Chain A
Amino acid sequence: MKSKLNLEQLIYIVVIILSVIALLLSLTSYQFTDTKLIYEGF
């Protein structure tokens, strides 16, 4: 039986992909892991 992605599933997949990208970006730098630096960054 062929299963098709519905819109809701697609949205959750997009949420997961974007969250993983954000997490990977944060791991590239001290700046996201040091709250004092985040505060100073703003």
Chain B
Amino acid sequence: MAPAFSSARQAGAFAVSVLLILLLPLLAEKWALPTREQMYSATGRSTADFPTFHQDIFEDKGDIDIAILGSSRMGCALDPVYLEEKLSGKLGRPAVVRDLTWTWNGYDALYFIAQDLLEHRKVRLMVIPDLTYDLSFAAGNVAHRQTTYWFRLADNGAALAGLPVKSDASFYASAILGIPRNLVGRLRPNLPALPTKPHALPWYYSQSDYMPSTGVTAADAHIYSAATRGDFRISEQPIPAMQLAFMRKIGLLAQQYHTKLALLNLPDFADRTQTLVQETTDWPEAFQTNVSVIGIAPATLFAGLSDDQIRQLYYNATHFNQNGQRYFTPLVTPGLIQIYEEQTQP
């Protein structure tokens, strides 16, 4: 077999190249990188509409009444336009509701994006989903798949304090991968937000229109409290240490910026016969702050529907489609507005 290197000099050059690549996040300090404002618009629209994140966080000004943050399950479940319209009607002024949703799970993603958002815009209520959903301990203790899009060691390194070593290593690896794109961002202009945008997730669009007639009303949505505890089932399943650490950071972030957190329960197709709202954990305990939890028991939500009819509301087993969003959003909107009003009342 031919040797890997033809000379010691060539091996030395290879070692220096690998060392430089490994040290890129440390060498590329803030002075070398484009401004953080360029990160989202440099990211493109291949998986989610990140240039719109840029617009919502850095370009638009003024307070946000409700920000919807989370993974694709959230992006498919809740219609921000409907919520904005109803909140505007309730407040008697134009409300501002923004949707910043992306793909794949993980509270680390939510923390870094929420941090950028709250540093630049006042947000009164942040609606988030269960992002530990479908996370194994192996996946839940390493950086989100798209961490290169929003994590830079020079900006976010302090957030890694106290995380497991494997988690730290995965963020460092992500930072290495993100540096070249950041540096390219210095050389060419980034993408603007589109004036009218399609849904960020193309598979959200339904094959056919379907609106079930179930008799379910918004009164069937429950906000967790001592009085409604019997409507919820909290499974207390263990949560990966890194996720828990970021949940607590999100709790602190929300306290720091006086932002109320609401956790919206999103039912899966597999839960369709459950008579109680299924929660992974005790959310206020996990976030260590006051989190309002709202949900509808799946058996109530889908009362009287056959499995085939329920399937018409889903893109796949875990994501609503456009039909599902049209059905689900009006049922939880009054509850979300109630949480918003409780937050803003003196």
Tell me the interface secondary structure of chain B in the complex.
helix
Question: CB distance A28 to B148 under 8 Å?
Answer: no
Instruction: State whether A40 touches B22 (Cβ < 8 A).
Output: no
Contact stretch, chosen from B92-100, B139-147, B203-211, B258-266: B139-147
Given contacts A25-B169, A28-B166, A41-B177, contact A15 B22 (CB under 8 A): no
**Chain A proximity of B336: nearest CB distance (Å):** 33
User: Interface centre among A14, A21, A26, A29, by most B CB within 10 Å?
Assistant: A29
Which of A24, A30, A31, A40 meets B169, CB within 8 Å? Answer: A24
Q: 12 extra interchain contacts, Cβ-Cβ under 8 A, other than A7-B8, A15-B18, A28-B142?
A: A8-B11, A11-B11, A11-B15, A15-B11, A15-B14, A25-B22, A25-B169, A31-B145, A31-B177, A32-B173, A40-B46, A41-B177
| Mask of A1-42 contacts with B, CB within 8 angstroms, 1/0 | 000000110011011001101101110111110100110111
B173 to chain A, nearest CB (A): 4
What chain B residues lie within 8 Å of A15 (beta carbons)?
5, 11, 14-15, 18
Q: Please indicate the chain B residues that have their CB under 8 angstroms from the CB of A37 in the complex.
A: 145-146
Please give the residue numbers on chain A whose beta carbons come within 8 Å of chain B beta carbons, in ascending order: 7-8, 11-12, 14-15, 18-19, 21-22, 24-26, 28-32, 34, 37-38, 40-42
- 1/0 per residue, CB under 8 A from A, across B175-201: the answer is 011101100100000000000000000
Across the interface, which residues of A come within 8 angstroms of B5, CB to CB? 15
Interface residues on chain B, size class: 20 to 34
A21 touches B148 (CB 8 A): no
